[in-house]
Structure 1
Amino acid sequence: MFRSSLRRLPLHSLAKNIRSFSVILPEEPFIYGVSHIKPRIVPEHIPRPHYAGGSPTVIQDVDGKVQLGGDAERSVRAAAKLAKNCQRVCGNSSQALRKPGVTTNEIDAAVHEYILAHKAYPSPLLYSGFPRSICTSINNILAHGISDDRPLEDGDMVCIDVTVYLNGYHGDTAQTFLVGDVDEPGKELAKITNSAVEAGISACGPGRHFNGIGKAIHSLIKATSFSISPHFTGHGIGTVFHRKPWILHDLNDEPEVMVPGHCFTIEPCIIEGKTPTCWIFPDGWTASTEDCARSAQAEHMVLITDAGYEVLTR
């Protein structure tokens, strides 16, 4: 069966400065879906979420909150810690990440095995049919990039989005890595993306409105040459991978207020230029900027406490 792969094309001079990086495009635009991609094996003894064949989830946080001070809080903290450690594995293996030649499939395999070794399940695997254990999004890919066998190139930016399912709870985090010699605009994009997450986090606390997160990120980005993707939101997380509250990263009028126990992600996608629209590859997952400008993403899990908030994945 044919496999839909991605190809790279050089792109020069996206703006006033001359830049050179590889653009990711679908090589086989008439092959749809991901049924041709073989998922990695997960041993039977690893507990898995219901969408991957596990037992129906016992939803203890249907209202978007984790019960503080008990097993639920300990479990969500443990899942977040494992997700954080997966990113550290990627960072510590960055001899591979920072040098051209490693493939995202190799990164996916390494993280997959690390998660299994800790008796956890890679949450993206088989989620609505997603075929890989992590998301790897390169350059113009906003999110949900599917790992493959192409080597990373000098100057690439790759976002690695890791989610784990441990003891009935999900932990989720993402980081954009620079591969080799990335140009100055790319470095600035990565830097401003990290700052955007921190701005959103600083707006958190009991009694504060969720829309303050989007206001804080908007306030940071509006005076720059970058834009905020409106297509991807943060989300509540716990026994369910994605649930309310939904976190908007730009100006919005959502009225909900944070209360102790709310656990959610902040994960803005920041784009070069002022064209934040996107399109989806025929695989049904990979999201690219419409004009092939680069994007970066960073993500942290936040838990609202009685005293303020904690970042569980930092």
Structure 2
Amino acid sequence: MFRKFEEMIDSITLSDRSLHAEQKRYDIVYPEDVSPPNVFPDEIIPVPMYYEGILEIPPAEIHLKTIKEIELLKSSCFLAKKILNAAKNFIREGLTTDELDKYIHNLVIQNKAYPSPFRFNGFPKSICTSVNNVVCHGIPDKRILKNGDIITVDITVFYNGFHGDCAATFLIGDVDEQGKQLVSAAENILYKAISVCKPGEHILEIANCIEKETSKYNFCIIPSVFGHGIGRYFHEEPLIPHTTLGIEVGEDCIMKPGMAFTIEPAIGESSQHTFILDDQWTLITEDDSRTAQFEHTILITDTGVEILTK
């Protein structure tokens, strides 16, 4: 697992990493043991393609939702946010992310829904838990949450034939001032980005807004994290970039009523450079600096935008 990590330390300059370690403001997180997969009661039918290990291939074009589809999507998004709120109340110092995953898994099942991440392209758990230097797609494991940690919990449920997706970063105990500012900034930046969405606006205005707002806080944007269309498929068109850096988007990628997608910028303390560990999921910062992330599923309406996971 860590041979690749050590090789990268040898090949890059990580002065910030040493600074973080010396100050001991927070724990640098490495993956720990992962428990066996969760189980499903007979009445919950898993998404077949997930269970069979088939790669999800959504349509290549943007699908504008009908009135009926919007109602179904809203019900899924409402449940996703309800469960994220439950996670917020359950998280505490001394809890393992594996225990959090089991709690959320059971809660999703009790609501007659399916946890979308489970076995999605091979992901082994029902939620993503990303602590401190883990940017996103952290796999719940036996690591205990510690005083001073920050943790991003990403919840997606499949309910009534549609996916609802949201995430938030939470503080564990006494977090240092820099960590608190990072989390607060990430949430503010998300809401600013949502505020520019409306019919006729270009998708890249989201990235322009995020770049402008992030610069005010002297933080950085993680360019490898994108938002995405959502509906009957977990990830649909369009792709939603959070930065204009190296991004080419067609002039015709305009927001239209009925378009549903997520906005989920990951905001970093210092470095925008990341890499994926050998588990092929866990994305971490090169210099072990922290990131915070908030996510909403939104809908473009005739007059503006509606946050479906608010």
For Structure 1 versus Structure 2, the TM-score category normalised by the shorter chain is 0.7 to 0.9
Does structure 2 retain, via aligned residues, the 8 Å contact 1:234–1:266?
yes
- Pairing 1:300–2:305 present: no
| 1:195-242 Cα distance to aligned partner (Å, 9 max, x none) | 111111011011111100000000011243210001010000000001
**Aligned pairs (5 A) from 1:229-308:** 229-251=222-244, 252=247, 254=249, 255=251, 256-273=253-270, 275-308=271-304
Name the CA distance, whole Å, in 1 between partners of 2:74 and 2:32: 41
Partner of 2:14: none
Partner of 1:67: 65
**Aligned pairs (5 A) from 1:1-314:** 13-14=19-20, 18=23, 20-26=25-31, 38-53=36-51, 63-70=61-68, 72-93=69-90, 97=91, 99-251=92-244, 252=247, 254=249, 255=251, 256-273=253-270, 275-314=271-310
Deviation at 1:281, TM superposition (A): 1.2
Other structure's SS at 1:145 match: coil
CA RMSD of aligned residues (A): 2.7
Does structure 1 retain, via aligned residues, the 8 Å contact 2:32–2:143?
no
Q: 1:27 to 1:239 in 2, by over 3 A?
A: closer
Other structure's SS at 1:222 match: helix
Q: Which has the higher helix share?
A: 2
TM-score of the aligned structures, taking structure 1 as reference length:
0.86
Q: Which has the higher strand share?
A: 1
Name the CA distance, whole Å, in 1 between partners of 2:233 and 2:291: 27
Does structure 1 retain, via aligned residues, the 8 Å contact 2:63–2:237?
no
Name the CA distance, whole Å, in 2 between partners of 1:158 and 1:258: 32
Does structure 1 retain, via aligned residues, the 8 Å contact 2:50–2:120?
yes
Does structure 2 retain, via aligned residues, the 8 Å contact 1:19–1:183?
no
Q: 1:19 to 1:224 in 2, by over 3 A?
A: farther
Of 246-255 and 260-269, more deviation after overlay is shown by 246-255
Does structure 1 retain, via aligned residues, the 8 Å contact 2:260–2:300?
yes
Name the CA distance, whole Å, in 1 between partners of 2:207 and 2:233: 23
Whichever residue aligns with residue 272 of structure 2, its letter is P
Name the CA distance, whole Å, in 2 between partners of 1:213 and 1:156: 29
Deviation at 1:167, TM superposition (A): 1.6
Name the CA distance, whole Å, in 1 between partners of 2:45 and 2:164: 15
Does structure 2 retain, via aligned residues, the 8 Å contact 1:278–1:290?
yes
Deviation at 1:92, TM superposition (A): 2.4
The answer for unaligned runs of 5 or more in structure 2 is: 2-16
Deviation at 1:69, TM superposition (A): 2.0
Q: 1:37 to 1:18 in 2, by over 3 A?
A: closer
The answer for unaligned runs of 5 or more in structure 1 is: 3-10, 29-35
Other structure's SS at 1:173 match: strand
Deviation at 1:12, TM superposition (A): 6.8
TM-score of the aligned structures, taking structure 2 as reference length:
0.87
Count of aligned pairs between the two proteins: 292
Name the CA distance, whole Å, in 2 between partners of 1:200 and 1:311: 12
Other structure's SS at 1:105 match: helix
Whichever residue aligns with residue 241 of structure 1, its letter is F
| 1:123-145 Cα distance to aligned partner (Å, 9 max, x none) | 00000110000000000000000
Question: Segments of 4+ in structure 1 off by > 6 A?
Answer: 59-62
